[in-house]
Amino acid sequence: QKKSREESSGEGSGVEILANRPYSDGPGGSGQYTHKIYHVGSHIPSWFRALLPKAALQVEEESWNAYPYTRTRYTCPFVEKFSIEIETYYRPDAGQQANIFNLSAAEKRQRIL
């Protein structure tokens, strides 16, 4: 929250928190759901910002945190069909597990390393 306040310097900047609530029976079981909008316009040169529509200056983040598992999805309203989804498991093994997500052989072949 402190970083969000520091990054907020007026309209078109900072982080807008739309939801921050517990959930049950979701990704990873039960945990905390957050939905944020990052206003990134202040981090882009003004000449370039003037060429872009307002929707291109926002990034949405939805996150389901059910420690030790989290799922986070990033989207941009300007590019409707594009998203990045990140799944993470936190384990006390220094990253030594070869197949933390228990992928099948077919799923493993589809990975891009």
Full 3-state SS string of 11-22: CCCEEEEEEEEE
Most confident option among 43-47, 52-56, 94-98, 102-106: 102-106
Higher-confidence residue of 16 and 33: namely: 33
Residue 103 C-beta-side C-alpha neighbours within 13 Å: 13
**Going from the N-terminus, what domains does the chain have, and what CATH number goes with each?**
3-110 (3.30.530.20)
CB of 12 closer than 8 Å to CB of 39? yes
CA dist., res. 62 & res. 23, Å (int)? 13
Pairing of strands 69-76, 29-39: unpaired
pLDDT of residue 113: 72
Q: How far apart are the first and last CA of the chain?
A: 34
pLDDT digits (tens, 9 = 90+) for 21-72: 999 988 889 999 999 988 877 766 677 667 776 767 788 999 999 999 999 9
pTM of the predicted structure, to 2 decimals: 0.72
